[in-house]
Structure 1
Amino acid sequence: MTDQLLDLHFDVLASMQRGGPSHFTKRAFAFSDDLEPNEVDISRFMERLLAASPGDELLVLWHRTLTAWDFDENAKWSPAPARTDERRADAYTRLGFGEDLCKALDSAFPVFKEPGTVVISKEFAPWYTRENAATRAFYWKAYERLLRGKGWSDTAVSGLDQAAHSVVERLSDPTREEAYGARGLVVGYVQSGKTANFTGVTAKAIDAGYRLVIVLGGTLNLLRGQTQRRLDMELIGQENILRGADPGDPDALVGIDYQDDEDWPHKFVSHSGRPSARGAFDIERLTTREDDYRRLLNGIRALEFEKHDRTRPLYDPVNLHDAAARIMVVKKNKTVLSNLVDDLRKIGPLLSEIPALIIDDESDQASINTIDPKKWEAGKVTRTAINSLITDLLGLLPRAQYVGYTATPFANVFVDPGDEEDIFPRDFLISLPRPSEYMGVQDFHDLDSPVPREDRTVANSKEKAHVRGIKKSTGDLLQEAMDAFVLSGALKAYRAAKGTPEGPFRHHTMLVHESVRTDDHSALADRLTAMWDNARYTGTEGHARLSALFDSDFAPVSAAQAADLPTPATYDELRPYVSRARQLINAGGGPVIVVNGDSDSYFAQLNLDFDRTPNVWKILVGGTKLSRGFTVEGLTITYYRRTTQQADTLMQMGRWFGFRPGYRDLVRLYIGREELIGKSKTVDLYEAFEAICLDEELFRAELTRYAPLVDGKPQVTPAQIPPLVAQHLPWVKPSARNKMFNAELVEVRSPGHPIEPAAYPRDSTATARNTERWQSILARLSGSSVTCRLQPDSTTPLPRSFQAATTVVPHAHLLGVLSSLEWEGGNVLAPHLTYLSQLDGRLARVDDWLVIAPHRTERHRIEAALLGHGPFSLFRRSRQPGKGSFGRISGVEHRSYGQRLIDQDYIGSADHSSSTMGLHRGVVLLYPVVEAETDAEVKAIAASGTADASQVIMAFTVIPPRAAIDSKRQLVRFKAKDSSRPDAALVNATDS
């Protein structure tokens, strides 16, 4: 039976696709020729909305439509920000909906308010509007249908739509007369779905008119083949792969590269016929799953585009939109890229007519020019092989747009912006949001947790739930990690049998990563194999170990973290599934696979293709080859102890990050807590990851802060990102060499936001001088003691308090102290001091500062006098591994307290109530810090009751009042310099 109400609403909402919401009832009457008046009445919609089941197609339609309007970052029909109640209210007003219907819709479909993409961009000429995108959307619509068929939510699809749109609109208009090649960078999270984004970008770009897409897909054919398959399956589709062959004719299918793929053809997108026969255009593959780019005649002929009007260039709309698109996925390999470049050179003038898109996956790997500038030839840039070939490609294709993708962006943003031929993201840098179902660093660390460490449990602590050490008094925990692998596999099998929506779990893996040495890998594999053989998983001893681990670890964690998923009440209930897990792990030659080769032939013989192999249930042993690009599917248990001192390398090793549907409570990370570096230095790997996470989140937070336009213009352009990184993250060791930048950071305004420098001097003499400069404030603090109370809120569920010494100092006094301090590696505080020094006017002024020197809890308190004042609590902090600075200085409770005072919503002790703060008082959190690994070292310094000034770093966090901003809303200010002329003087300061 026809659902007339659904059909009506579908037609009405489709008519609003280009221009946004408009009066629903008026539009409905235009489609109501065959309907009764009561069927157009909006009250019928209200009745259905209130009575409908969750799967009602009418509800699905409205959820999808409202979400798309909520997410649209460039909605011309509404001035309200995306993802806000105000944007939704604007939509309801334009629809002409009454209050009751609005409430019902909000109840059924709440506004999704999680952050979206963050864009740092130069100004650009708008061309890819929502209206234009809706007009040509053949491949995007097909991709969107496929994603929804895979179970993607409306918010996930709309989020991807908006993120991909943000990229494409900043590319050059493919039909423009003057050639221009944009350069951009998209920053995601490690194993967080970047491929989905660039597939969406490719779909939208070819719909818009880009006719040659080159994807640089990894350094191994296995990785390249995975990317090719993904694009073939989700974008190119059955009909373009078959190229007109009859799918029912076995002879016609000979040579098709997916005949042995269990997902062919039912999981490959279908366009319901040849796209060119449906008013669209075909896609021709210049590479296949098995074959990388081939040379000479095939390559040249493949780029012979048909033109309706041969007197006009290909990019003319008359020719462009009917021409077939070409897509190739190539390795970042010198031979392959050289072949491609050589062939393109032979094609000649046509290249200048082709709108092309180059997507560089893992763009900080191999693509960056890492040759030291000191070794360049006179007057000429000397490049690494892959970087040189990429710049050759960009030079041969003047209409080529370059978009790099990475999860570790620092190498890319340190590329020289003055090198016009290189791949610096001069036009845009886009930071993708953290997906809602993603497990990343934040899911293994208790960042900003208000719960005291001694009160943390598997219910309120991510570390307690997922992280385990690798050592115990009797040896290491490798056997326990293997037991956890078997036990979690059994739990997956149990859940699959109980009908968990995410099951069956196709792959189940464990990663053991201890060393980069191949000899070590072989020895470790032998040890693991012997351990497996002696584990007695079919006997009493093995079952006793698994039962104990289930009772002490997996059962309580699953009860606390995944109460909605099937979990057996006892080990006896799980025991039958242990046998199944053991069989799957042991099948096909044993439980262990060593992954440490660097050739395609090596990976081919491993039989480790997760796409083609039905079930990979294995323990993988490896090093660098498992630390980038290679996605370990079904990874559940990780045993990790390898160290490195480079931030991006360390982050890329986090293979345990990713999506874990139906088993995130089973994920365990066994990680080294103290490892030797050199002869004496130890590093806590777990804490190192936490430090890198804080670095990364601060970088993303800075991008978010400076992304909003001011008076319609960007506050920050991509060329100004390097000095922001250098100033705000002075401890980041760039993975590529530092070059000249074309902007120097002059001022950073931080009204209501913490300023927390971390690069304190290593030199003890400089430390002593810095400490002495705080002496007048230490004298004011000496002898005072107040109770600082935190009342419960969403971040602090229970009342908390701490003791502190406090005083109030005039603005000029504090500024004098801060201005006199010395720093490691230059004055990292200078841009902030420029701002603070201006806060003495009538509008943007600070009268004084509340200085708070917190005490540690009585249980952990270590006190000492300092320069004859005090005593003060001494805090222990460590510098980040391989870097010159500390991690976070301020404690979570202390910073929350100070921030609440600034935010004027504090309810606490009479000493510091909001009524006494006022609009013109800031907060300083002051910490006497001892650089030490253990409290015992701190106690030794405080043993005499007086601490040596040369051993105490006076670390601090400054939070200016929110009112400390003048009429200029610009948060950053730069001086510009031309990095292509290193000797040029600085030009006038700009606010661009």
Structure 2
Amino acid sequence: MSMTAVTQERNISNALISGLANMPETPTREQVEEKAKQIAVIFGYEGDLRNIVAEAMESVVTRMGAGVSLVDFDAKHDDQWVHKREDVDWTYARAYEEFLRNEGWPPQMVQSLSDVTTRILGHLQDPLSEGTSWNRRGLVIGHVQSGKTANYTGLIARAADAGYKFIVVIAGIHNNLRRQTQQRIDEAFIGRSSDPEDRRNIGVGLTLGYPHPATLTNINGDFNKNTAAKSGWKINDFSKPIILIIKKNVTTLTALHKWLKALNAGGGDRISDVPMLLIDDEADNASINTNKEDLDPTKTNAMIRRILGLFAKSCYVGYTATPFANIFINPDAYDDDVREELFPRDFIYCLDAPTTYFGAEKVFLNEETSDSIVRPIDDCENFIPYSHKRDDSIHELPPSLYRALDEFIVARAIRNLRGQAGKHCSMMVNVSRFVPVQRAVRDFLSLREKKIREAVLANYAMPEDVSSRNIYMQGLKQAFDDEYADAGSTWAEVKSALHDVFEHFHLFVINSKSDEVLDYTRYEKEGVGLTAVAVGGLSLSRGLTIEGLTISYMYRNTKMYDTLMQMGRWFGYRPGFEDLCRVHLSRDSINWYSHIAGAAEELVQQVKRMRRDRLSPKDFGFYVRSHPDSLLITAVNKMRSGKKETVEQSFSGRLRESYIVSTDSEVNARNFSLITDHWKNGFGGQPQELTEKGFVFKDVPVQVIEDFLIQFECHSTFAGQKSDVVSYLERIAAKRPWADVLLISPSGGAGGDAPFTLRNQVRVVGKDQPAGTSWRLNKDRVASRGDEKLGLSDPQREKAKVLAGGKDGLGAVSDTHYREVREKPLLMIHSLEPKGDSVAGPIAAFGISFPFGDYLTTINVVVNKVWLKQMQGYVDDPDDEEDYDA
């Protein structure tokens, strides 16, 4: 496709989307197709309209909520200052919005981004405000790959319009990520390419008379004295804002500090009349407990503090997708003044994900969509084990990885058939932290791709009885049958489209030691849709945007929240091909990701609740520190000495379930008899009510629940967690004396023939079960999603809907929202029927869900190395990553 055709398509698409945005009601597909034809005639375009129509349909349903902020209500800050200042001409903000519309953003999304960035700006200080000095500290929590960069670019544009003069963006710890961020800001804010060889106007700068901000960094060079001198700008020429995009490392930050200090040598100890904004992208990034000198979190954050300290007027805004970031948690990583200084004491803002976002909810939490996306890897350990070494030789790749490559090739063919040949399509492979192993994986995949290419060339036009004899064609057909038979194309169509898949097919190794650059823009300029297989480690997984990511294959096992969530490159926007995306992960990772996704969802809900209760970021910080999962982040550091630690924990708004159950038949017989006894006496004499999936007893005295749990026999590895649950129930009993009990008994389940016995719920038994008499449930979940709505009234369910999606009811309603409206503890009791030979059933299990609002109530939990080992399993230590930038 030529560049002119691409531009023409873009123009028609923009015209169509703008036209649809003005329609009073959501248009039907037919109306959109009709309007597209009319516009195509005006433009004299005779090409394929399918993509244009698909994009327009997507834009019609894309909405984004306003998000929610937590502020310090006692602070004397007027967050309406933005609306009160009538002198602001929003030049940069308007140019940025126009730029996004030209990029194909739906108008509603541009509008909501504008509203949200205006609200965040309100949380900053008015740069023209009186007073000799001020500083503000905040945090914005987004979703991985959901457009955080777009958000802070919008914030920068508005801040510059309002009068912020010196802006620093700290973009991760890798060169390729800093470069990518510089490119984006060049286009969207500076309006000029910062490539010293090619200083032309681009993006927003194509408008006549655009007031280009100055930049002291460029796409090739991070900040140092020379790039600053060469840029030709003087810091005291503040007719325009100055922006720097730098890496988070000690050397760069020190150079910037030194340069600023020297510039201000004559002006006392602080730069007094220059309001500055510092954006810390991936605020959790250099918080890894790393031993690499230049990335030491204490030192990097101390330098950030010093730079802020040079300015009498400063704002610091951290952006993160992992709110368990160590700025809340890791007390050992910083001394007190560092932690105090960068803590977001003034505001925490949670961004909503747009409705079309392909995120953790779809991939891990929603059972229906999750089953169609996630594929467990069970065969990698014999080929590239978790705990391999740098110089281990790789003799062959696991069959599941070759299978994923087959899926990728078929998915690309289907995307081409859908008219997406001009769009990028990528596959990510992340199985090792070591550069030599990454290269070996690439070589094997390259060899395989060559053989498939030859097979396709010889067979794509052959009759099926001939082509089906070829082993590589069989693999592709198998992938089609298993994964994509319902994707809207026949095998015959896909087979004939396979030939074109290889036209721009490239394999890359992406790490800080490789000189290969995954440069999608280069291909875009030529109007080419790149088909890329990217093999890498941490630098591939952290922050780098992989365009059109369709197939992901990751066999890594870290329990460090921030590292793991950041590895989730598979989140993002997948217009027109979401149904083709597949994510291959080990069962351990699937369990752990699902757990984290649930925890992150609970945290956002917690922010909303805390705002309602007029609590401050400080209280949220306390809650996060006492969150059960925060232990896993701090424990690694703390337990090197091997001593026990006592930590405070809060279960506010959380679900705790017996996800490790005993398979001992005598234990289960005793548990079922305990259930029957309590059921017979109505859990302390309460009436039984019918629900869609069993029975509910409402307003049971909490003591009855405690007695039941104390007598319920857990597997020894879960016993400690059970006693924590009982302790917490006791702590909140004075405030919450009543609880509900759900006996989950689905109508179609086997069993339940005798009176007062439950019908079973079938659960698959995953591979690699622990030895002995225990069964660890899939995704560490016992209840099905949605169980917590059972027994709620219609008005309560309606209220949960509103909580999930605001007035429009756009969000997916989850158990967290149902938990919010129940406002009392809920005990759920299950009878599980294991599917698989290894375990005999039925098996008794329970879960208890705690209401929100008890954030500051905690219990003491004692943990030690044994506990840590149990919780962590394998440790995939980021310290061992080879592809940190040197």
Residue from 121, 143, 147 that aligns with 2:71: 121
CA distance in 2, matches of 1:646, 1:929: 33
Q: Alignment partner of 1:181: what SS?
A: strand
Q: Cα–Cα, structure 1 residues 924 and 360, in superposed 2: closer, same or farther, change >3 Å?
A: closer
Give the drift of 1:896.
2.2
Q: How does 1:50-199 map to 2 (within 5 A)?
A: 115-123=65-73, 124=75, 125-126=77-78, 128-132=81-85, 135-175=88-128, 176-199=130-153
AA matched with 1:851: V
Point out the more displaced range, 605-614 or 828-837: 828-837
Give the drift of 1:762.
11
Residue from 634, 644, 651 that aligns with 2:548: 634
Q: Deviations over 1:117-143 (max 9, x none)?
A: 111111341163324278331111111
Q: Deviations over 1:694-731 (max 9, x none)?
A: 111111121122223x5xxxx22112123323555447
Q: Is the 8 A contact 1:856 1:875 kept in 2?
A: no
> Is residue 305 of structure 1 aligned with residue 221 of structure 2?
no
Q: Deviations over 1:571-606 (max 9, x none)?
A: 444445322211211xxxxx432223x34xx3xx21
CA distance in 2, matches of 1:233, 1:696: 32
Higher RCO (Cα < 8 Å, 6 or more apart): 2
AA matched with 1:899: L
CA distance in 1, matches of 2:370, 2:61: 31
Percent identity reads 26
Q: Is the 8 A contact 2:429 2:553 kept in 1?
A: yes
AA matched with 1:345: K
Q: Alignment partner of 2:791: what SS?
A: helix
> Is residue 465 of structure 1 aligned with residue 352 of structure 2?
no
Residue from 783, 790, 793 that aligns with 1:890: 783
Number of matched residues? 716
AA matched with 2:283: S
Q: Is the 8 A contact 1:748 1:835 kept in 2?
A: no
Give the drift of 1:208.
1.1
Residue from 836, 842, 848 that aligns with 1:956: 848
CA distance in 1, matches of 2:61, 2:478: 45
CA distance in 2, matches of 1:859, 1:775: 19
Q: Cα–Cα, structure 1 residues 201 and 838, in superposed 2: closer, same or farther, change >3 Å?
A: same
Residue from 419, 435, 449 that aligns with 2:336: 419
AA matched with 1:394: L
Q: Is the 8 A contact 2:690 2:696 kept in 1?
A: no
Q: Cα–Cα, structure 1 residues 864 and 871, in superposed 2: closer, same or farther, change >3 Å?
A: farther
CA distance in 1, matches of 2:336, 2:310: 17
CA distance in 1, matches of 2:188, 2:92: 10
Q: Cα–Cα, structure 1 residues 573 and 664, in superposed 2: closer, same or farther, change >3 Å?
A: same
Q: Alignment partner of 2:104: what SS?
A: coil
Per the alignment, residue 532 of structure 1 pairs with 449
Q: Alignment partner of 2:282: what SS?
A: coil
Q: Is the 8 A contact 1:369 1:384 kept in 2?
A: no
Q: How does 1:521-670 map to 2 (within 5 A)?
A: 521-535=438-452, 536-540=455-459, 541=470, 542-543=472-473, 545-547=475-477, 549-556=479-486, 558-559=487-488, 569-585=489-505, 591-596=506-511, 598-599=512-513, 602=514, 605-614=515-524, 615=528, 616-670=530-584
Q: Deviations over 1:331-374 (max 9, x none)?
A: 123322221111122123362332111111111111578799xx
CA distance in 2, matches of 1:300, 1:126: 37
Give the drift of 1:888.
4.5
Q: Cα–Cα, structure 1 residues 731 and 860, in superposed 2: closer, same or farther, change >3 Å?
A: farther
Indicate the RMSD between aligned Cα atoms, in angstroms. Answer: 5.0
CA distance in 1, matches of 2:117, 2:823: 44
More helix per residue: 2
Per the alignment, residue 602 of structure 2 pairs with 698
Q: Is the 8 A contact 2:62 2:108 kept in 1?
A: yes
Q: How does 1:670-709 map to 2 (within 5 A)?
A: 670-673=584-587, 683=588, 685-708=589-612
Q: Alignment partner of 1:688: what SS?
A: helix
CA distance in 2, matches of 1:165, 1:593: 40
Q: Cα–Cα, structure 1 residues 122 and 434, in superposed 2: closer, same or farther, change >3 Å?
A: same
CA distance in 1, matches of 2:592, 2:178: 31
AA matched with 2:256: L
Point out the more displaced range, 622-631 or 171-180: 171-180
Residue from 207, 218, 231 that aligns with 2:185: 231
AA matched with 2:209: G
Per the alignment, residue 432 of structure 1 pairs with 351
Q: Alignment partner of 1:332: what SS?
A: coil
Per the alignment, residue 206 of structure 2 pairs with 270
Q: Alignment partner of 1:135: what SS?
A: coil
Q: Is the 8 A contact 1:360 1:405 kept in 2?
A: yes
Per the alignment, residue 829 of structure 2 pairs with 927
Output the TM-score relative to the length of structure 1: 0.62
Per the alignment, residue 331 of structure 1 pairs with 247
Per the alignment, residue 742 of structure 2 pairs with 852
Q: Is the 8 A contact 1:815 1:836 kept in 2?
A: no
Per the alignment, residue 286 of structure 1 pairs with 216
Give the drift of 1:639.
2.1
Q: Is the 8 A contact 2:826 2:848 kept in 1?
A: yes
Residue from 153, 156, 163 that aligns with 1:209: 163
In structure 1, stretches of 5+ residues that fail to align are 1-52, 65-108, 243-254, 276-281, 307-321, 373-381, 450-460, 497-502, 560-568, 586-590, 674-682, 791-800, 841-845, 907-918, 961-969, 976-992
Q: Is the 8 A contact 2:160 2:241 kept in 1?
A: yes
> Is residue 507 of structure 1 aligned with residue 424 of structure 2?
yes
CA distance in 1, matches of 2:848, 2:836: 20
Give the drift of 1:531.
1.6
Give the drift of 1:533.
2.8
Give the drift of 1:523.
2.7
Q: Cα–Cα, structure 1 residues 584 and 818, in superposed 2: closer, same or farther, change >3 Å?
A: same
AA matched with 1:286: L
Give the drift of 1:388.
2.6
AA matched with 1:721: F
Give the drift of 1:193.
0.7
Residue from 436, 439, 447 that aligns with 1:519: 436
Per the alignment, residue 464 of structure 2 pairs with none
Give the drift of 1:933.
9.2
Q: Cα–Cα, structure 1 residues 783 and 861, in superposed 2: closer, same or farther, change >3 Å?
A: farther
Q: Is the 8 A contact 1:929 1:955 kept in 2?
A: no
Q: Is the 8 A contact 2:508 2:516 kept in 1?
A: yes
Q: How does 1:4-19 map to 2 (within 5 A)?
A: none
Q: Deviations over 1:777-824 (max 9, x none)?
A: 86331498999765xxxxxxxxxx434586974466457778999854
Q: Cα–Cα, structure 1 residues 196 and 274, in superposed 2: closer, same or farther, change >3 Å?
A: closer
Give the drift of 1:444.
2.5
For the pair shown, the structure with the greater C-alpha radius of gyration is 1
Per the alignment, residue 12 of structure 1 pairs with none
CA distance in 2, matches of 1:443, 1:646: 22
Residue from 705, 721, 735 that aligns with 1:838: 735
Residue from 664, 677, 701 that aligns with 1:779: 677
AA matched with 1:895: E
Q: Is the 8 A contact 2:167 2:278 kept in 1?
A: yes
Give the drift of 1:228.
0.9
Q: Alignment partner of 1:636: what SS?
A: strand
> Is residue 343 of structure 1 aligned with residue 250 of structure 2?
no
Q: Cα–Cα, structure 1 residues 829 and 190, in superposed 2: closer, same or farther, change >3 Å?
A: farther
Give the drift of 1:203.
0.6
Q: Cα–Cα, structure 1 residues 63 and 271, in superposed 2: closer, same or farther, change >3 Å?
A: farther
Q: Cα–Cα, structure 1 residues 299 and 493, in superposed 2: closer, same or farther, change >3 Å?
A: same
Per the alignment, residue 483 of structure 1 pairs with 406
Q: Deviations over 1:650-701 (max 9, x none)?
A: 222121111222322222223333xxxxxxxxx3x32332222111111112
